[in-house]
Each structure stands twice: as C-alpha cells, then as structure tokens.
Chain A
Amino acid sequence: MGRQMPNEPRTLPSSFRDPSGFLFEQDGRLYRQVNRIYGDHYDLLLSSGLYRSLTEQGLLVGHDEVDIPPPDPQPAYKIIKPQVVPFISYPYEWCFTQLKEAALATLRIQKTAFDLGMSLKDASAFNIQFVDGRPVLVDTLSFEKLQLKPWVAYRQFCQHFLGPLLLVVYKDYGLSQLSRIFIDGPPLSLTSRLLPFRTRLRPSVASHVHLHALSQKVFSAKTVKVRERKIRPVSLAGLVESLESLVRRLKLPVKKTEWARYYGETNYTPEGFERKKKIVEEFLDIMKPDTVWDLGANTGVFSRLASRRGIQTVAFDVDYVAVELNYRDCLDKNEKNLLPLVMDLTNPTPALGWENRERKSLLERGPADAVLALALLHHLAISNNLPFRRIAEFLSRACRWLVIEFVPKTDSQVRRLLATREDIFDHYTRADLEEQFNRFFLVERIAPVEGTERILYLMRNRRSPEG
C-alpha cells in the first residue's frame, strides 16, 4: 500500500520552497512543473532573451518544453525537461575555487538578468551545479521581473557564498564545513564573530559582513509600517559590482599539506608508477564504466585515466588542498568530465535538510559503475581501525565494479602509519582482504605492481548495489 507505480511521477523531496514550480521524476527522467503563478516570469525569461544569453554563456542549464500530463494539474502552466546534471554536489563538498567560481557565476547571472529586465529572486549555492567543470545555475525558475527594490537574495548570497569564502581565506578551510551544519549558510553574526579584527578595516568586508550582521541584530524583530523604497538601477548594479569585486579579489593562502605532496613522495619508482597506471587502464577497458568514483583521488592523476576516456568521473579526497589543486588543474586544462570534491570517507556526506531528505547522502547519489580505491585501504584500515569486512560492505553499496589496491605492512607508507602506534592489526593481510571482500565481490583479476610490493584487484559486485 502506498507504493508508487514505476511510471508514477515522484516529486523531489528537495523541491518545496518555491511556489513557482517543482521538480519531479518520471520513468527515470527529471522534469520541472512550472506553475501558473510563475507563468509571466517564465515567458519573460524566454522573450527577453535572458534564457538564450545565459544558456549560450553556459551559465544556465538548458531545457525543452514537453507535452506530458502535469503531476499537479490545477496550478500547472508548463512542464519542462532540464538538461541532466551528471553528479549533484553540494557547497560543503566544494573547494575554495569551486565556491568562488559558483559565487562569481551567480553574480554574472544577476548582471545579465539586470541588463535584460530581470533579477534573481534567490541566490542559493544549492542552485549551482558543476557541468563540464563549470558552475551552472540549475533552477530555471530563479528569475523574476526586475523591480527597482532592494535585491531580495542579497542576504542569501552573503550567507551562502561570501561568508564561507571569507572564513576559508581568513581563518581555516575546515570552516567550509559550516555550510553542512547551517543549510542556509552560516549566519552572518557567526561569520562576523569568527573573522579576525583586521577584516573590519577592509571596507567591503566591513559593510557586507560586519555591518550587515550588526544591522540584522539591531533590526531583528522590529516591525515598522510598510512603505517600499525604490532603489536606483545604478545602485543595484553598484551593489552587485561591489560583491563581485570583493569575491574576485579573494585568494586562498598557499599552504601545503602532507597529502597534496603525495605523488612527489611515493615510495616506488617512476616505472612502478607507470605500471600501476597501465594496470588501471587495462581494468577500465574490461569494466567499460559510464561513471567512476575515485575515492582518495588526491590531485586526480588516476581519475584522469578515466575522465580522459570520456567517463564521468568524480574525484573525492579528504584533503581540501588536494581537491583545490585538482580543480584548478581542471580549469587550466578545460577538463569536462572530472569533478573533484572534498569527502571524508570515514564520515561521508549524510542526508540533510527537512526530513533528512532535502540533500542526499553520498551513497544515495550512487552507485557508480566503478570505484577506484587506490592507496586508500591502509588509511581506512589502520588510521581509522576499520576491519576489511566493513570496508568491503561499504564499497559494495557504492559500485558495480571495484579496483582496489592492497599495500602490505612491509611497505614504507604503511610502516609510517604504524610508527607511532601499537600494531593491533593482525588481520591486515592479503589473505584476510581476499576472504572478506569475497563475501561481497567476485575477484576478476589480480595484478601485482612490478617493482613494488603492492597488488591491484579488479572485483565485480556479487549483487546489484541498488538492491
């Protein structure tokens, strides 16, 4: 009872805030219902040339109008079928440059909208996704006819983009995770308190963050008689320009991390490294995946073996700087199929928001056709005390095919992990790995990496991970 038929439309749990319309899935495809209440704005988006301009600039996802029955016929105006985003990611998974590019894209969209008589009615970071390596607005219903009033999305922009960017630049990149706790962005009062005193001397930060937070505090819960104030177009343009100039000038301080130097510090020869690449390529030829998740991807050397074959690849790493370097590389080389993301696999992104269904967990966004888990196992098993069985179980829920590397205790990288702690890992053996992974996977290939002590396995999931 209550179970939906396969062809019955299913409204997305995240699509409830805006009465202009909603997203739904039907027969495995994504659609958006546009409601009559939004009809005039939608028509203006098309007739003003804004839709064309933004899609041509790659700033807005394209869509087609389709003729299918609306799931909610009474308020329905039109049904559109938006371009598919290969992998949905969230601001708390982005590195600094990804968040900065997303912020600049939002402001560029707002400027283009101004010029064509429209304005963004929201500036949520969740409305931006990465398609072909670039930030794109995915909410077609985010525009309204331009009115000469204060920008309604100003506070949201400051909370979703400006605050987190400033905290990363002036304090620590760990604070990017505040967006995970505060789903509408960290409150400006908190950002203001966390930022160092010297930021109060920078006029643009002082006004958009510190005075903004003070103003919110002073005027909170004050109800004064309504008289809407008009705002001059040049003032609206100046506000966006001021935000754009501030965001553009923000730079991440250069810091090096242990992992970001990883490829320069491998304990095997360049020949061994090349052989490992060759084995991974042979395995990719066997698997022929459409999607790959590279777990523990570092700066994405092995991810690129997949993405350069046209495979949609997500490169996850716990190291913020490694992801930053990876994304900058993607921008420099205009790489289209690679999406680097920050992810702590010992505490992967959970489902968040209303009913814990608004933003998906990592596993809910899978499974991937293939997972690469190279030089990862010893970090999970030794640094995080995870038994092989638990790791195998997790990976069996994430992929259909698995490429996994075993690094023995005699390897200097593992010895380094054990140097400062008692070796309680009697089960950290090749035999135990094969036994535990065999419960969930069929071993298809075993390939020792010549010139090293390492072994690569190609495994196939015994059952469909969806089941």
Chain B
Amino acid sequence: MKHTNLVVRFAAVLISGLFLLPLCGYGYIDLGSGSYIIQLLIAGFVGFSLSIRIFWKKIRSRFSKKKKTDGTADAE
C-alpha cells in the first residue's frame, strides 16, 4: 500500500514536471488540472494513432491510384 502511494506520488511529480500544469483556466468552466493532464496524454496517444492512420490511408490511396492508372493504361 505504502509502495503504491509512493509510486503514484513519484508519477505525479514526474508528470507535473513534464507538463508544468496550468491551473489558471480559460473559459468560464474549470477544466481542472487532473483532466488537463489526462487529456494531454490521451490526446497525444490518439492523435499519434490518428496521424498514422491518415499516413497509411494516403500511402494506400497513392498505391491504389497508381495501380488503377496502370490498369487503365493496360486496358487502353
């Protein structure tokens, strides 16, 4: 139990250092520091996977376009 608390505290200090929490919010509702941190982590992760998906899509569409063009050329 004591160990778990220590790990959580250590992680908190580490993450605080990484992000340098902004506690003065913008807008009229409070996002809260905990929601701020977790959002950055999730957004970073899903943003990365979304970038990869978009990248793959572009590559695939380029290849399929090339293939299609080749196919059309063959037909002609």
For A239, the closest partner residue in chain B by CB is B43
Distance in angstroms between the alpha carbons of A236 and B43 in the assembled complex: 6
| Smallest beta-carbon distance B35→chain A, Å | 4
User: In the complex, which residues of chain B have a beta carbon less than 8 angstroms from the beta carbon of A218?
Assistant: 8, 11-12, 34
User: In the complex, which residues of chain B have a beta carbon less than 8 angstroms from the beta carbon of A144?
Assistant: 27
Q: Is the Cβ of A212 less than 8 Å from the Cβ of B35?
A: yes
For A207, the closest partner residue in chain B by CB is B42
Add 19 more A-B contacts to A153-B27, A154-B39, A217-B34 (CB < 8 A): A17-B28, A121-B28, A147-B26, A153-B29, A155-B32, A158-B35, A207-B42, A207-B45, A216-B38, A218-B34, A219-B34, A222-B33, A226-B20, A229-B19, A234-B54, A235-B50, A238-B43, A238-B46, A239-B39
Query: Beyond A122-B29, A152-B31, is A215–B23 a contact (Cβ under 8 Å)?
Result: no
Does A228 touch B at the CB level, under 8 Å? yes
| Smallest beta-carbon distance B44→chain A, Å | 6
Q: Is the Cβ of A222 less than 8 Å from the Cβ of B43?
A: no
Distance in angstroms between the alpha carbons of A221 and B15 in the assembled complex: 15
For A152, the closest partner residue in chain B by CB is B27
User: In the complex, which residues of chain A have a beta carbon less than 8 angstroms from the beta carbon of B22?
Assistant: 226-229
For A232, give its contact among B8, B36, B38, B47 (CB under 8 Å): B47
B binding-site residues for A, Cβ under 8 Å: 8, 11-12, 16, 19-51, 54
Does A237 touch B at the CB level, under 8 Å? yes
For A222, the closest partner residue in chain B by CB is B33
Q: Is the Cβ of B46 less than 8 Å from the Cβ of A242?
A: yes
Distance in angstroms between the alpha carbons of A217 and B43 in the assembled complex: 20
For A225, the closest partner residue in chain B by CB is B20
Distance in angstroms between the alpha carbons of A242 and B49 in the assembled complex: 11
| 6 intermolecular pairs with C-beta atoms under 8 Å apart | A212-B38, A218-B12, A219-B37, A222-B21, A238-B47, A239-B43
Distance in angstroms between the alpha carbons of A234 and B47 in the assembled complex: 5
Q: Is the Cβ of A237 less than 8 Å from the Cβ of B38?
A: no
| Smallest beta-carbon distance B69→chain A, Å | 29
Q: Is the Cβ of B50 less than 8 Å from the Cβ of A237?
A: yes
For A19, give its contact among B25, B28, B51 (CB under 8 Å): B28
User: In the complex, which residues of chain A have a beta carbon less than 8 angstroms from the beta carbon of B39?
Assistant: 150-151, 154, 239
| Smallest beta-carbon distance B53→chain A, Å | 9
For B28, give its contact among A18, A158, A207 (CB under 8 Å): A18
Distance in angstroms between the alpha carbons of A227 and B22 in the assembled complex: 6
Distance in angstroms between the alpha carbons of A226 and B33 in the assembled complex: 11
| Smallest beta-carbon distance B63→chain A, Å | 23
Q: Is the Cβ of B26 less than 8 Å from the Cβ of A223?
A: no
Task: Give the size category of A's interface with B.
Answer: 35 or more
Query: Beyond A207-B42, A231-B43, is A226–B36 a contact (Cβ under 8 Å)?
Result: no
Query: Beyond A223-B23, A235-B43, is A121–B29 a contact (Cβ under 8 Å)?
Result: yes
Distance in angstroms between the alpha carbons of A222 and B28 in the assembled complex: 20
User: In the complex, which residues of chain A have a beta carbon less than 8 angstroms from the beta carbon of B49?
Assistant: 238
Does A220 touch B at the CB level, under 8 Å? yes
Distance in angstroms between the alpha carbons of A152 and B22 in the assembled complex: 12
Which 7 A-B pairs give the minimum distances between C-beta atoms?
A235-B47, A216-B34, A238-B46, A155-B35, A235-B43, A224-B21, A215-B34
For B43, give its contact among A150, A158, A212, A228 (CB under 8 Å): A150
For B21, the closest partner residue in chain A by CB is A224
For A234, give its contact among B8, B30, B50 (CB under 8 Å): B50
User: In the complex, which residues of chain A have a beta carbon less than 8 angstroms from the beta carbon of B34?
Assistant: 212, 214-220
User: In the complex, which residues of chain B have a beta carbon less than 8 angstroms from the beta carbon of A223?
Assistant: 21, 23
| Smallest beta-carbon distance A291→chain B, Å | 34
Distance in angstroms between the alpha carbons of A226 and B21 in the assembled complex: 6
User: In the complex, which residues of chain A have a beta carbon less than 8 angstroms from the beta carbon of B25?
Assistant: 152
User: In the complex, which residues of chain A have a beta carbon less than 8 angstroms from the beta carbon of B46?
Assistant: 235, 238-239, 241-242
Most buried by A among B11, B23, B35: B35
Does A288 touch B at the CB level, under 8 Å? no
For A239, give its contact among B19, B28, B42, B54 (CB under 8 Å): B42
Does A211 touch B at the CB level, under 8 Å? yes
Distance in angstroms between the alpha carbons of A152 and B50 in the assembled complex: 21
CB within 8 Å of B: which A124-160 residues? 144, 147, 149-156, 158
User: In the complex, which residues of chain A have a beta carbon less than 8 angstroms from the beta carbon of B21?
Assistant: 219, 222-224, 226
User: In the complex, which residues of chain B have a beta carbon less than 8 angstroms from the beta carbon of A222?
Assistant: 12, 16, 21, 23, 33
Question: Could you give, for residues 252-265 of chain A, a 1 whenever the CB lies within 8 Å of some chain B CB and a 0 otherwise?
Answer: 00000000000000
